Amino acid sequence: MISVIVPAYNEQGGIRKTVERLKRVRFREKSEIIVVDDGSSDNTYQESRKIRGIRILKHERNMGKAAALHTGFEAAKGDVVATIDADCTYPPERLPDMLEIIRDGEADVVLGSRFYNRRRGPGVIIGAVKKIAFLLAGKRSDDHTNFYGNAIFSGVITILTGKRITDGSTGLRAFRKKILNRMHIRSRGLDWEVEMTTRSVRAGLKVVEIPVDYYPRVGRTKLKILTDGIRFFVGIVRGRFF
């Protein structure tokens, strides 16, 4: 069985679109969709309740993305779990391909990469520097800023682990549920993904990436470029050495 976890915090604009699109995906085996509302202050929970055929869990207060994911993992009935963000940025149609790779024994963890097979190099660094300068000048974070930042942190994971990772912080991933017991992930926020990716490589698990498209998010980003950037770096180092 496949369990798809959708963590959501103040995503009233995107949650229904994300889940309805996810419901149209055809899996080869029985599946379930679990939405975890992480103490939203908007109508995310109310919008989720309008969707039939899914399970909805709710935190009474905001506890962070990692807590929402773990609530979903604990409730999941499937032996393979997948995660997807609630902001309409990732294509759920790629999940069957990701799950097939796991079922075929080719991987323990499959990452949906926004960078795989795309041109990398100085342009990414230059773009990132420009975006950071943009933010320090008092401008707001956007999807492009997050995009460049993720490329840089993936580079850090690659350097520290020796395995090429192009998108270590992707919100679209699938893995065998049992591997969570082999990793003691301590991140409590958006840095959960980078620590999970780093620990997976460190544990000797088979980590495979496949290319996926990435779309502009619905609603405002939760990412705070400086504070979350520090947390990302700490999560990677913790995942690699501690």
Read off the pLDDT of residues 88-106 as tens digits, 9 standing for 90 and up.
Answer: 999 999 999 999 999 999 9
The confidence band for 144, taking pLDDT boundaries of 50, 70 and 90, is low
pLDDT at 152: 87
Over residues 154-209, the pLDDT tens digits come to 999 999 999 999 999 999 999 999 999 888 899 989 999 999 999 999 999 999 99
Q: Could you write out the DSSP letters of every residue in the chain?
A: -EEEEEEESS-TTTHHHHHHHHHT---SS-EEEEEEEES-SSSHHHHHHTSTT-EEEEESS---HHHHHHHHHHH---SEEEE--SSS-S-GGGHHHHHHHHHTTS-SEEEEESSTTS--SHHHHHHHHHHHHHHHTTPPP-HHHHHHHHHHHHHHHHHHHSS--S-TT-S-EEEEGGGGGG------STTHHHHHHHHHHHTT--EEEEE----PPSS-----HHHHHHHHHHHHHHHHH-
pLDDT at 220: 86
The confidence band for 146, taking pLDDT boundaries of 50, 70 and 90, is low
pTM of the predicted protein model:
0.88
> For 78-91, what is the mean pLDDT?
97
pLDDT at 130: 45
The domains located in the chain, with CATH, are 2-241 (3.90.550.10)
pLDDT at 224: 79
Mean pLDDT of the residues in the chain: 89
